[in-house]
Amino acid sequence: MAKSTIFLRCLNFIAIGSLLSCVGNNQSALKANDVLPIFKHFNLILGDGSNVGQALNYENKDFFYATSEGEEDWVVFKTPNAGNTHGTSNNTRTELAQLKKWSPMTDAKLEAVLKVTNVSTTGDARVAATYSVVVGQIHSADGHENEPLKIYYKKFPGHTKGSVFWNYEINTDGDDNSKRWDYSYPVWGYDFSVVGSDENSYPEEPTEGIALGEEFGYTVEVKEGTMYLTFTSEGHETVTFTKNLIDSEYKTVEAIPEQVKTLFFPIGQDGVERENAYEEEGLFFKLGSYNQTNGKSPQVNRVWCSGAETHGGDLSKQYADGNYAEVWFKSVNIEISDEAISNQGYFTANDDLSKKTVYPSEVIPFMEKFKILMGDGTREENLVNFEHKDFFYTVIDGTRRWVVYKTPNSGITSPNSSNTRTELHEKREWVPEEGGKLTGTCKVMHVSTSGDARVAASFSTVVGQIHSGEGHENEPFKLYYKKFPGHEKGSVFWNYEINTAGEDNAGRWDFSTAVWGYDMAVVGAAKDEYPPEPEDGIMLGEAFSYEVNVYEGIMYLTFSSQNHETKTFTKNLISSEYVNKSDIPDQVVKLFGPLGQDGTERATAYTGELNYFKQGAYNQTNGKDPETNMVWHTGAETYGGDIAKQYENGSYTEVWFINSTIGPGESPVEKK
């Protein structure tokens, strides 16, 4: 063969190889903006919480990339159950957020065709948000930053078909947005409120649902204050809706739909909407994969916290076993008015917000009036802009930020106590004749799971006190929460400790009064044998409120909780009802008599003694031997005082507070 022929063939092979190489590179180099030429209108938020800006020629194989399936090109939005979030959300997202905001009085339009290819395979079926992903939104950039539109896809495990529905979130009236709620409209299948009967039981599969991988489309159009929605999918009925965004239909409690009362009222979200809804706020579009399944305990919030597997936030492990949401978009179109303006304020306010510290004093602003003792014995006098990640910090429960008080069964205690506490101590002191008032809304998230059921203090925590700072330093008021292991509901009760007559305080005792459930004297028949569950009790994670109002020597107590009877009590703090042995109640004789604690109270009770309020988590469960004291020594597991091990194994108490106040006592007559 001639050398020239060989040379030409080599050139041909090189040319063909180069061409194939170029084709291959072009295929692997497919970018999202080649598929969806819309990215000049959006910033991209990733499942790690970062804002990467405009996604022009951008990809991230963990969260956002282009792919081809047959002859069709798609953009993939993928996000795990747990990662860093954006803003104050509990949920991760890989989602586009519009760069401009617009008035609902102008024209705006968003169209998309997509398919959901995965939702989380774990979670609590009783929680409405579990197994779902939001694929499109209208979000407010102002005010409460609420969402007048969220388009969901949700599929229960084992089902072939899932549901598509959309939610309207009210623009809550007033400054407090914690009462906000969603109303849900089914498109194909169920609405948001259809949940499982227990953690792993599911409703029947929807007959007209949408399968994973099945395409559907939505069009969102806003004109002159009205939102028009159209949903399409081959083989399914086209469904349309209209919703007024500038004239609320939820201005009164009476107008709140039954669906909302059933779903949101139990978690205290029962607000009304401002009359003009979203009229005065800038709105913007979002779309992608906003994963609604997270690893937070359903005990925290039974609508939004789904208790799914997160593998400690390990991305690869979550992706390996289906604990993520994935949404593919084939086409997207956006139209907005020329009057739209920059939305930079939203991004400035929310970028990296989840990584910023929010101090307890920012949630409950009375912290300058208190000091604190924490579960490791450390003290802090100045609580403004102070936190401790092991004991005293803030969290979000899905809608509201709370202050957390956490303390182990064993640590370093105050001088006269067997029990650890992470508890506020009022700096001001006052006599009962002068008075004072403390309020608190709290939910107990955990009490020790070990202890001796025969011991009255086992499995309990004190969440509020009045403490004397003089004399015997006794406690005229202690508010308890107690729940036996295996029970869903626990008891709330309050104790009055006598101000013992004479110099010897060894005969002091408490008289306990039930609020919901049992009083302190109800104990188990054996170490691991418990009384029946209280019918009217309070669950872990269920909020309740208390007011302790001392006025002219009288203590007025009020206790309230959603779906529970409000209870009130009065107690004279300056004139005793226990001055004689015959005055001692039978409950006290039974509980404290065996310990030799059978003292009487001074006739003037706490008259003239300086008192102060306390609030937080005062753990009543300890590791001391029950045989030495069958009221206070609970014999719980303490792991030698190792706090990390106690937290890991349930040997601690945790209480969350919100909306607490402190001030002077008030006349109950004037209050009415």
> Domains in the chain, start-ordered, CATH in brackets?
38-355 (2.60.120.200), 360-671 (2.60.120.200)
Residue 448 has pLDDT above 90, yes or no: yes
pLDDT band at 411 (very low <50, low <70, confident <90, very high): confident
Query: Quick one: pLDDT at residue 414?
Result: 67
Question: What is the per-residue pLDDT across 539-550, written as a single tens digit (0 to 9) for each?
Answer: 999 999 999 999
Is residue 210 within 8 Å of 164, Cβ to Cβ?
yes
Each residue's pLDDT tens digit, 244-282? 999 999 999 999 999 999 999 988 899 999 999 999 999
At residue 407, does pLDDT exceed 80? yes
Strands (E), 268-378: 283-291, 324-336, 341-342, 370-373
Check pLDDT > 70 for residue 59.
yes
Banded model confidence at residue 18, pLDDT cuts 50, 70, 90: very low
Q: What is the pLDDT of residue 506?
A: 95
User: Span 194-206, mean pLDDT?
Assistant: 96
Residues 14-33 have a mean pLDDT of 53
Q: What is the average pLDDT across 602-612?
A: 98
- pLDDT (mean) for 570-594: 97
Segment 563-577 shows an average pLDDT of 97
Structure tokens at 465: 């006190």
- Separation of CA 614 from chain center: 24
Cα separation, 365 vs 363, whole angstroms: 6
**Which amino acid type is present at position 605?**
A
Tokens 């924490």 -> residue: 374
The pLDDT of residue 412: 80
User: Which SS3 state, helix, strand or coil, does residue 556 take?
Assistant: strand
For the chain, the average pLDDT equals 93
**Mean pLDDT of the region 431-458:** 97
| Long-range own/partner contacts, residues 561-565 (CB < 8 A, 24 or more apart) | 561/516, 562/265, 562/266, 562/267, 562/268, 562/270, 563/265, 563/266, 564/516, 564/536, 564/538, 565/516, 565/536
- Tokens representing 610 are 């300086």
Residue 398 has pLDDT above 80, yes or no: no
Cα angle for residues 648, 649, 654 (degrees, 5° grid): 75
- Check residue 28 and give its pLDDT: 52
| Per-residue pLDDT, 454 | 98
Do residues 587 and 597 make contact, with C-beta atoms less than 8 angstroms apart? no
84 pLDDT more than 90? no
Radius of gyration of the chain (CA): 30
2 pLDDT above the threshold of 80: no
Task: Give residues with Cβ within 8 angstroms of 305, minimum separation 6.
Answer: 90, 127, 129, 294, 296, 297, 298, 299, 397, 398
Q: How far apart are the first and last CA of the chain?
A: 112
Separation in Å, CA 122 to CA 81, 131, 199, 487: 10, 7, 10, 24
Assign 462 a pLDDT band (cuts: 50, 70, 90).
very high
**What would the two tokens of residue 203 be?**
């409703």
Question: What percent of the chain shows pLDDT beyond 70?
Answer: 95
Please tell me the predicted confidence (pLDDT) of residue 415.
67
Q: What is the predicted pLDDT for the residue at 5?
A: 40
User: SS3 helix, strand, coil % of the chain, rounded to 5?
Assistant: 15, 35, 50
Main-chain dihedrals φ then ψ at residue 425, nearest 5 degrees: -130, 115
- Cα–Cα distances (Å) from 411 to 414, 455, 635, in that order, read 10, 20, 15
- Confidence (pLDDT) at 21: 39
Query: Quick check: 416 pLDDT over 70?
Result: no
Here the tokens at position 229 are 């929605």
Q: State mean pLDDT over 345-372.
A: 91
Which of 217, 361, 201, 379 has its CA nearest to residue 287? 217
Residue type, 534: P
CA 615/CA 370 separation, integer angstroms: 10
